[in-house]
Structure 1
Amino acid sequence: MTSPIRVVLVDDQALFRAGIRMVLDSQPDLEVVGEASDGREGIEVVRATRPDIVLMDVRMPVMDGLAATAEILRDPGAPRVVVLTTFDLDEAAARAIQHGASGFLLKDSDPEFLLSAVRTVHAGSAVIAAQATRDLFAHIAEAGASEPVPPSYAALTDREREIFALAAAGLSNAEIAAREFLSEATVKTHVSRILTKLSLRDRVQLVVFAYRHGLV
């Protein structure tokens, strides 16, 4: 039997944490292994429990979610971090993603969407809330000029650039496979090579890269 996805909750509202824990623990493939009420405590709990996923509030006392995310992701074998926010064009959430978080989730999301988001991030085959993520970075991109495209992008093959564009648009591996008449395994291989060549952590960082360098 596959081990459950291990989750740590970091949020300063105890009632909110209790609600999220109830939703996650209701699923046989998910398990909440720790909680914290601020970023500093969150780092300690993450290091003690070694979860797969961290749900991290952006705004908290003692240490905010942005600083905590950056520190957690510096550790070897770091978990994936999903930041929690109250509104969809949150520049703090954008900064957390630029620091390596694997996406963001609105606090008023439906329970089913929360469950799907945790599983999606763990699988790494798609971007959670793809349209919202693209809208967030389009909003950020409008505020400043694009950065020059780095030389590493030139190392992508023509096929990899096609896959890059579709992934940057938020398509999942399955959707790209259907569009390009490829197997999902082949798409997964292409995406993995793209991430390696561009030194990106995951598909969300690919979206950030595309908007930062004006490639969408």
Structure 2
Amino acid sequence: MNGYAKDDGDGTDDGAGVPIVGATDAPVSVLLVDDQPLLRMGFRLILEGEPSISVVGEASDGAEAVAKVAALRPDVVLMDVRMPVLDGIEATRRIVAGGACTRVIILTTFDLDEYAFAGLRAGASAFLLKDVAPAELIRAIQLVASGDAVVAPRVTQRLLEDFVRSRAPRNGQESRDPLLAELTRRETEVLEVIAEGLSNSEIAHKFFLSEATVKTHVRRILTKLHLRDRVQVVVYAYETGLVVPSNPDY
């Protein structure tokens, strides 16, 4: 294995081994989850004006969300955090553990909300602020559905750096995951730039590779490290110390 195999063109995404959402002309199906009807209505009005997106259902709590994901199999869930019956973090964890191809976007009030990181660790693919601009919301759903990029990489990076810095050992030493030894040099380099929020096209440009080759590297990284998607790569890179938090004065 030389790390330079071509994309096999089998219709899978760049690493998760599941069909690419949006690979056909079908719109991205979205489930709205929030305990406030007015917020659900607002998101529905925004999304229903976009031909590439279809709102297939709504839920008012996490338990209902888990049930509707099983029944509707949406491509993307917009998931609130604080809800009755079952919160959004546990609902996300159950959806991911259930093996669904559905990707979850956590909705938060503050960009450094501790629940946002908990959501990423639970398996969410991204997080957004509830006051997100309509165009950004639509683009975020499309990005997450495609599996190509982490939403708001700078905000995600800041969130992760703050969390990791707060959990850092006093002696500054990190424990290295033995699984990292299974990565080739190029795969390690790709992992590091994924953690910076680079997309496949940006990685290809940086390393003078084709996007098909980048997809192959990403797929192998996810397989070797037992990770679900790109955002899990970002979390993993920070938690294992592969990526060191930058100067806090940013």
Normalization by structure 1: what TM-score? 0.97
Amino acid at match of 2:208: F
Tell whether 2:199 aligns with 1:199: no
Question: 1:85 maps to which residue?
Answer: 108
Instruction: Verify: 1:210 aligned to 2:237, yes or no.
Output: yes
Residues 66 and 91, structure 2, Cα contact 8 Å, conserved in 1: yes
Name 1:157's counterpart in structure 2: 184
The partner residue of 1:29 within 52, 56, 60 is: 52
Match of residue 57, structure 1, among 75, 80, 98? 80
1:188: which partner in 2? 215
Corresponding residue SS for 2:237: helix
Q: Which residue of 1 aligns with 2:62?
A: 39
Bigger fraction of residues in helix: 1
**Corresponding position: 1:179 with 2:202:** no
- Structure 2 regions of 5+ residues with no counterpart? 1-23, 244-250
Aligned partner of residue 56 in structure 1, secondary structure: strand
The code of the aligned residue for 1:74 comes to: A
Match of residue 168 from structure 1 = 195
User: How far apart are residue 44 of structure 1 and its match?
Assistant: 1.6
* Residue 67 (structure 1) aligned with residue 94 (structure 2): no
Find the aligned partners of 1:191 and 1:76 in 2 and give their Cα distance. Answer: 20
Partner of 2:41: 18
Which structure 1 segments of 5+ residues have no match?
A: none
- Once the two structures are superposed, residues 14-48 of structure 1 have per-residue CA deviations (whole angstroms, 9 ceiling, x without a partner) of 11111111111111111000101111111122111
The one-character-per-residue Cα deviations of 1:89-143 (angstroms, maximum 9, x if unpaired) are 1111111110111110111111111001000001111111111111111010011
Quote how far apart the aligned CAs of 1:78 are: 3.7
Secondary structure of 1:194 counterpart = helix
8 Å Cα contact 1:125-1:188 kept in structure 2: no
Partner Cα distance (1:122, 1:82) in 2 = 10
Pick the structure with greater CA Rg.
Answer: 2
**Shift >3 Å, 4+ stretches:** none
Distance in 1, matches of 2:99 and 2:189, equals 32
Question: Given the alignment of the two structures, is residue 145 of structure 1 paired with residue 168 of structure 2, yes or no?
Answer: yes
Correspondence for 2:99: 76
Paired residue type of 2:33: V
Q: CA–CA distance in 2 between the matches of 1:112 and 1:86?
A: 18
| AA matched with 1:122 | A
Q: Aligned partners of 2:91, 2:36: CA distance in 1, in Å?
A: 17
For the pair 1:95 / 2:99, whether they are aligned, the reply is no
Counterpart Cα distance in 2 of 1:53 and 1:195: 20
Kept in 1, the 8 Å contact 2:126–2:151? The answer is yes
Aligned length: 216
Q: Percent of pairs identical after alignment?
A: 54
> Take 1:12 and 1:48, find their aligned partners in 2: how far apart are those partners?
20
Measured after TM superposition, the shift of residue 145 of structure 1 is 2.3
| 3-state SS in 1 of match to 2:97 | coil
